Structure 1
Amino acid sequence: MRSPSFNSVSQARLLWSIALPAMLTNVATALFGLADMWAIGRLGDAPAQGAVELGAKFMMALLNVFNFLRTSTVALTAQGAGRGSTRAQAETLARALAVALGIGTVLLLAMPLAIPFGLDLLGAKEALRESARHYIAIRYWAAPLWLGNCALVGWLIGQRLVRHVLVVEVTANLLHVALDMLLVLLAHWGVAGVAIATLTSECFKFIVLGILVLRRSDGRGALTSFAARTTWRRRELAALFALNRDLFLRTLLLTAAMLLFARSGAQDGPVTVAANGILFQLFMLAALILDGFESAAQVLCGEALGARERTRFDKAVRSAMLWAGAAALAMTLAYAVGGEVLATRFTTDPAVAALSATYVPWLAVLPLAGFTSFVLDGVFVGTGWTRAMLGTMALALAGYVLLLWLLHPLGNAGLWSAFTVFFLLRGAGQLVLIPRKTRSSFSTS
């Protein structure tokens, strides 16, 4: 059980106690991509920078579809905490780790086919394709570790142990940045050095997260839960499968949108790929900051549903939307003022720098366009409304694809326009559904 009662803590303070460490954790996570782009950008080689961008997009496409491991673990752990059930929380971790192990094994077996297939989808050709393939062939071995980290991080966040995750993430990223500088700038390993830095930091993170979990009695309980028959009962597995299925499909659609973005840019050559990659990494920085509010919404709304408290739920949603909107406005202003200077610091290639500066205004618009969908993703996951979230994502993706076709004559500007509207459509669909879903879920409260 949570030690303080809900009414004894102000809603804003409670939200920020989860959102701020999650936000800082996500900023540390963003350093993976930003450090890679900065290090490879020091070489002044647009094809190499483009190869890292395409390789990173491939790994994101491959792995992010399995991010349901983290989100479902957060939701189910928080719901178990809301009910005051330590056994449910231990069983949740056991199931999540079992799923991570199974998926990781399948991915490694599929590696010889997955890499060329993914490069074909991304439209990578000639030297760009070969460098991207080399990057992926090294980083791919981190896939099982990444999956395990999803389960461990999700469980710790669901326990409100976000500060523990923050310390691990910051430490892992400091290691990652140091390896980037050593392997790329000093050893001159280029694309391979970037990939090895990522692989090493993921391994480090898995080991430390595992130690943190095993230090807790309820974490050690997950080990005994592997052998407990109740962990693998049909009812619990069916509920887990339904939740993960919806989250998997929703993430698959989101990943398809990101791949369409990367592929559309790749058709204009390595300079456009590199420029879009820089701006995309800066957008991901903003998205990961806003994702702190999504994490808080997952935990607080999941606990409210587990405790069957409608008022507690409503306050959590309002607070998350208010503070996320304020943060989005601050990031929009920051990118509007300093985005051009920041973007051009990630390359020494004049053509890449000039093109990045041209499209910075879209970078400034995206935080305001996306914050509603980020927060409501957390609400819908925490409460288990994953089928509804999947439906809104499908409709938004359909609109996005239509806009890509209609705005194709505008080139890269049309691509960024469609990408922005995609987030607006996601948030609008969720806002329409939330009143009905709330009444249904709390009708017996």
Structure 2
Amino acid sequence: MSSYPSNLLHRFLQLAIVNIISNLLVPIAGLLDVAFLGHLTEIRHLAGVAIATVIFNYLYWTFGFLRMGTTGMTAQAIGRNDPEAVRMIALRNGGIAIAIGILILIFQTPLQTLGFALLSATPEVKASGQAFYNALIWGAPATLVNFVLIGWFLGRSQSGKVLLLSAVSNIANVTLDYLFVVKWGWASTGAGASTALAQYLMLCVGLFMSRDIFGQVAIAQLFDRTELKAIFTLNRDLLIRTLALISTFAIFTNVSSTLGTTVLTVNTLLLQVVTFSAYFIDGFAFATETLAGTYYQSRSHLIRLLKIAGIHCVSVGILFAIVFITFPTALFQLLTNHQSILGEIQHFTGWLLPVLGFGAIAYLLDGYFLGLTAGRSLRISSLWATFVGFLPIAVFATVLRSSHLLWLGLTTFMLVRAVTLAIQVPLTFQLKAAKN
């Protein structure tokens, strides 16, 4: 077994800080993308990219298990000093990612037809969105393999490499966006092409940094039935978990839209706060995921890790909530200048406290159980949260046309996730392999 660090707090913070910086590069690059498209003569290109992005969010979030499953399994292999298993995990999951990416390319036309049929927009906006889709879809294989590489580096506690990959991808994306969109006038096609090419550049850099995984491979070892079954079982559970989470936020937005434009705008802005705070909380959750997998055989280290992670995650979540509750007008003015929205949003900022408070605990425990590759626990928790914690209240919110009830539903969703995972934590200390 690998030696345990003398200062778990130092290692936790080191991993978390790098993860947070890496996470924050994503929205910054996204804002620059919007700025390039938003300054074109025709605004339909920005709108088209916005609706097409919904399709890719569903598509890629659905396959997020490639990143999550790889991290936990790799960290556990590191924890038991099994370098060959570390290598095989990267190769097996990489192979799965390539296969899924190729299938996406094969079925890109029906996926496009179905996706745009479910989205409401003018023909001009849809045309721009389809042009973006047609260019970006070719980056699918690289994007999915990058998920595996990021998960693999996180599992090996190499957050610095993840930060470098994120920087390479986002800098390339912004640079190519400027070239394709501003200089060459490719509009939404250029935006899609720049993102796809940036993913392939990221892939090349990632493969170079992970070149130690290549070498002689025994086919029988690579396709070991027991190992493949474990991977597919974990990926299935994580897929169901992710679909439940995506569906919850999609339903939240759809119900908001039925309550009027003002409610939809207010709730969208508040969700932006939840999303932005998640970039910070997830930094700590990713660190928890890595260390939980690495030290899954040590009860004492797991307990200490949960205490450290809990303090940081909850503190960040509550801090974000308090700041936006205390200074709603000043902060939300950065996002909108509509006085009617600014006046209405003050009635709902209080919901940020329970949503982010319980949400921070849920994110933390999500990372903890991902590190332990406890997919079944995550699947059951997310299904309970969606179907018991959220949906019944969302139905009442729709019938009674109450946005406050809708936020209560999101609060109970976070609470149920936190509680259903928390009650299973003691069981993780009773693993047969656990040692004090």
The TM-score, its normalising length taken from structure 1, stands at 0.85
Deviations 1:391-440 (A, max 9, x none): 01001111322222211243666555533442232112211222234334
Distance 1:273 1:173, change over 3 A: farther
Q: CA offset at residue 274 of structure 1?
A: 7.3
- The equivalent residue for 2:401 is 410
Residue number among 378, 385, 394 corresponding to 2:367 in the alignment:
378
Query: Contact between 1:297 and 1:375, CA under 8 Å: does it hold in 2?
Result: yes
**Would you say the 8 A contact 1:176–1:201 is kept in 2?**
yes
1:357-399 deviations in whole A, cap 9, x for unaligned? 8447278444324111111011111112110110010011113
**1:166-177 map, 5 Å:** 166-177=163-174
**Structure 1: gaps of 5 or more residues:** none
The answer to whether the aligner puts 1:243 opposite 2:230 as a matched pair is no
Q: Which residues of 2 match residues 31-430 of structure 1 at below 5 A? A: 31-41=28-38, 49-124=46-121, 126-181=123-178, 183-184=180-181, 189-214=186-211, 217=212, 219-220=213-214, 223-225=215-217, 227-265=218-256, 280-305=271-296, 308-336=297-325, 344-345=333-334, 355=341, 358-359=344-345, 361=349, 364-365=352-353, 366-398=355-387, 399-408=389-398, 409-410=400-401, 415-430=406-421
Distance in 2 (CA, whole Å) between partners of 1:39 and 1:282 is 23
Contact 1:373 1:424 in 2 (8 A): yes
Q: How many residues align?
A: 431
Which residue identity does 2:131 align to in structure 1?
H
Which segment is superposed worse, 362-371 or 372-381? 362-371
**Which of 332-341 and 380-389 deviates more?**
332-341
Q: Which moved more, 1:185-194 or 1:76-85?
A: 185-194
Contact 1:50–1:273 (Cα < 8 Å) also in 2:
no
Structure 1 residue 236, shift from structure 2 partner: 1.0
Whole-angstrom distance in 2 between the partners of 1:174 and 1:44: 25
Structure 2: how far apart are the matches of 1:249 and 1:109?
Answer: 24
| Paired letter, 2:216 | T
Moved more, 128-137 or 245-254: 128-137
Alpha-carbon shift at residue 255 of structure 1 (Å): 2.0
Cα offset for 1:144? 1.3
What's 1:438 paired with? Answer: 429
Equivalent pair of 1:25/1:169 in contact (CA under 8 Å): yes
Partner amino acid for 1:315? Answer: R
On the 8 A contact 2:259/2:401 being kept in 1, the answer is no
CA displacement 1:254-307 (0-9 Å, x = unmatched): 2222332444455578898777666545532321221111111111111122xx
Structure 1 range deviating more: 271-280 or 325-334? 271-280
Describe the superposition over 1:117-142 as per-residue Cα deviations: whole angstroms up to 9, x where unpaired: 22334455655544433332322222
Cα distance in structure 1, aligned partners of 2:430 and 2:318: 31
Cα distance in 1 for residues equivalent to 2:417 and 2:54:
21
Cα deviation, 1:206-250, whole Å, max 9, x if unaligned, reads 121111111xx3x33xx433x442222111111111111111111
Secondary structure of 2:424's match? helix
Instruction: Specify whether residues 44 and 288 from structure 1 end up closer, same or farther in structure 2 by C-alpha distance, changes over 3 A only.
Output: farther
Spell out, residue by residue over 1:147-172, the C-alpha distance to the aligned partner (whole angstroms, 9 max, x if none).
Answer: 01001111111111101111221232
- Taking the aligned partners of 1:35 and 1:420, their CA distance within structure 2 comes to 32
Ranked by relative contact order (alpha carbons within 8 Å, sequence separation 6 or more), the top structure is: 1
In the alignment, the residues of structure 1 paired with residue 156 and residue 111 of structure 2 have an alpha-carbon distance, to the nearest angstrom, of: 35
User: Quick one: distance in 2 between partners of 1:185 and 1:346?
Assistant: 25
Name the CA distance, whole Å, in 1 between partners of 2:405 and 2:47.
Answer: 21
Deviation digits for residues 315-351 of structure 1 (CA, Å, limit 9, x no counterpart): 111111111112223322444456655555457xx66
Unaligned 5+ segments in structure 2 are none
Give RMSD over aligned pairs: 3.2
